Amino acid sequence: MKGPAGSSPSPPALPERARSLVLLPIFSTLFFYLSPRAVQDNVFVQFLPQALSYVGLLAWGSLNGWLIRRLGLQSDGLASGLAWGAGVGVTLGAINTVVILKVVPWLGYDIMFLTQ
């Protein structure tokens, strides 16, 4: 299937497989935060959500085709993707800063946990 003149072909309308793999890092992050401090101090447990993100992405990629298109990395959408990515990144960074500097102390916690 060809797209407009000069663009790359559109991906075929195939169902996306293994969408539930996105739950791996989400549930491992919940596991981390709900675990006792002794478990959280384990380096393996600290990196488990990130490792499962990569494992899930690799497994998802091996089960689905047209990965560049599915991930939104095609060259014809690069400018739009960078604009959205920058906006979302700045917004989430600002929210994170407000939570750490305002909400955490308001809840009665010390932000010195950041030094650990």
> Mean pLDDT by 10-residue block, N- to C-terminus, for the chain (116 residues)?
55 81 95 94 95 95 87 83 93 96 91 79
Distance CA 93, CA 49 (A): 20
Give the pLDDT of residue 6: 54
Provide the 8-state DSSP code for 12: P
What pTM was estimated for this model as a whole?
Answer: 0.61
Identify whether the C-beta of residue 64 lies closer than 8 Å to the C-beta of residue 17. Answer: yes
